[in-house]
Amino acid sequence: MYDITAQAVGYLGLIFGILAYQSNTHKKILLTKAASELFFGVQYVMLGAYAGMLTNLIGVIRNCTLSRSNIRGKRQIAVTVFFLFLLIGACMFSWTGPVCLLAMLGKAFTTISYSIKNTRYLRYLTIPSCIVWLVYDFLVQSRAGVIYEIFGMLSIVVACIRFDRKALEN
């Protein structure tokens, strides 16, 4: 029963994550992804995947911080570097083996991509994160996470067609 509950929580994260990539503003993407990461963080703790839990909770705080429109320039770089160091610390704190590096790398990719205000580049730079998280989710047995990363990559492709192709045509 506990495993079913853990997977159900992950499916809530999946729903919010897919919705995020269909948003066309930086703020909406980040805040919807924050909800997704919160659910996945809860799921990871239920699965005993503490690196995934810590990095996702850092991701929630990061997304809420970066969604504020007044963070630009050098301040934005400093905030991004701060969160990258937090991720390294979370990896060290929750170390159970090399699998923890996957959670850190996946979140590091999105930390860098989310600091970019251009939604097209944000989506493109999120793809490496999806690949790393796909492997992590498979290893920690997050079925919702595996499905999410596959759908996440497909959702990014759809969003690129919807928004980026139209922008290039204009």
98-120 pLDDT, tens digit per residue, is 999 999 999 999 999 888 878 78
Query: Please, which pLDDT band fits residue 69 given cuts at 50, 70 and 90?
Result: low
The terminus-to-terminus CA distance of the chain in angstroms comes to 52
Between 167 and 68, name the one with better pLDDT.
Answer: 68
Mean pLDDT of 17-40: 88
Residues 121-144 have pLDDT tens digits of 888 888 999 999 999 999 999 999
**For the packed helices 119-140 and 26-47, what is the interaxial angle rounded to 10 degrees?**
10
Between 117 and 89, name the one with better pLDDT.
Answer: 89
Share of residues in the chain with pLDDT > 70 (%): 94
Asked whether the predicted pLDDT for residue 29 surpasses 80, the reply is yes
Largest CA distance in the chain: 52
Mean pLDDT of 146-165: 85
Contact predicate 25/42, CB 8 Å: no
Tell me the C-alpha to C-alpha distance, in Å, between residue 82 and each of 12, 78, 168: 29, 6, 34
In angstroms, the CA 21 to CA 130 distance is: 12
45: Cα within 13 Å, side-chain hemisphere: 10
What's the pLDDT at 125? Answer: 86
